Amino acid sequence: MTNQPDIRLQVSKAYAEAVSRPVSNGGCCSGPSPKGVAARAAGYGEQDLAGLPEDAVANAFGCGNPVAFSEVEEGEVVLDLGSGAGLDLLLAARKVGPTGRVIGVDMTPEMLERARRNVADQANIEVRQGFIEELPVEDCSVDWVISNCVINLSPDKPRVFREIARVLKPGGRMRVSDIVVQDLPEEVRRDPALYCSCISGAIREEEYLQGLRAAGLQEVQVLERAVYSGTTLEDFVKSELPVNQRSCCGPSADMARSLEGRVWSARFAARKAPAAG
């Protein structure tokens, strides 16, 4: 997949389908991959998830827990890129409290609808439709940018990095959990199901770090990595996105399994330079 509108369309369709799948349905050929497995595997503790709407937990498609590992404080403004069904919005809202604000941006109408339902009783959360490459957010307006397993899906990552730098306030910080890869075979790069499953569109960790620096961000670093085993990668494809039989138990799942050690989740941190003087 190389064409930008086509990638967005395919990705949006895949996530519309994923969020519409019944909670109880593993959806795949062999072995259960019930919804909700992804949240726990991504590193959310029972304490994080307690008291949150079941639907937000069941429809988490992240690869980390960026809010838990941030120093978000009461009264701050947090922006979540690709906010999905809203789990990280809810966790961030707990941290910023009633005097803070949390904004989620996502392009998929079905995800937006689900997130709005899941955050309905939280006055400090707002969900906006938009692309992460053209954020519907004012310059220098947020204290934190967070994101969970989304930037790998963007066909124009340098533009996303520039958008992060644009919307952060001077001194504002970024915590992003995302998939990075090394040495992906060409057939994996070309597989649309593996693109939508957050693997084929992912870039190398060094390229990610350079992209953030090139956008003008500082203190760019990787705080943590979780390297996936072949079985975890297969489960990831199955539980994240049973787009169709091909991705679920066909060649795409087999390809995913063969990528052991070449795909990992990294937690990135960066900061915008503080105002001079």
Q: Which residues bind to ligand SAM, rule: CB under 6 A? A: 8, 11-12, 15, 60-62, 82-84, 87-88, 106-108, 111, 131-133, 148-150, 153-154, 198
Return the DSSP state at 176.
Answer: E
Residue 238 tokens read as: 């199955």
Select 157 or 262, whichever has its Cβ closest to ligand SAM: 157
Select 92 or 253, whichever has its Cβ closest to ligand SAM: 92
Q: How far is the CB of 275 from ligand SAM (least distance, A)?
A: 29
Q: How far is the CB of 1 from ligand SAM (least distance, A)?
A: 12
Distance CA 6, CA 4 (A): 5
Q: What is the full DSSP assignment across 188-247?
A: HHT-HHHHHTTSTT---HHHHHHHHHHTT-EEEEEEEEEEPPHHHHHHHHHHH---SHHH
Return the DSSP state at 152.
Answer: G
- Our CA angle for 120, 59, 85, nearest 5°, is 35
Q: How far is the CB of 268 from ligand SAM (least distance, A)?
A: 14
Select 12 or 124, whichever has its Cβ closest to ligand SAM: 12
Select 131 or 208, whichever has its Cβ closest to ligand SAM: 131
Q: How far is the CB of 136 from ligand SAM (least distance, A)?
A: 10
In sequence order, the 6+-apart residues with CB closer than 8 A to the CB of 16 are 108, 109, 110, 111
Select 124 or 154, whichever has its Cβ closest to ligand SAM: 154
Q: How far is the CB of 164 from ligand SAM (least distance, A)?
A: 13
Distances (CA, A) of 73 to 23, 35, 43, 93, 252: 33, 30, 21, 10, 41
Q: How far is the CB of 64 from ligand SAM (least distance, A)?
A: 8
Select 134 or 219, whichever has its Cβ closest to ligand SAM: 134
Return the DSSP state at 190.
Answer: T
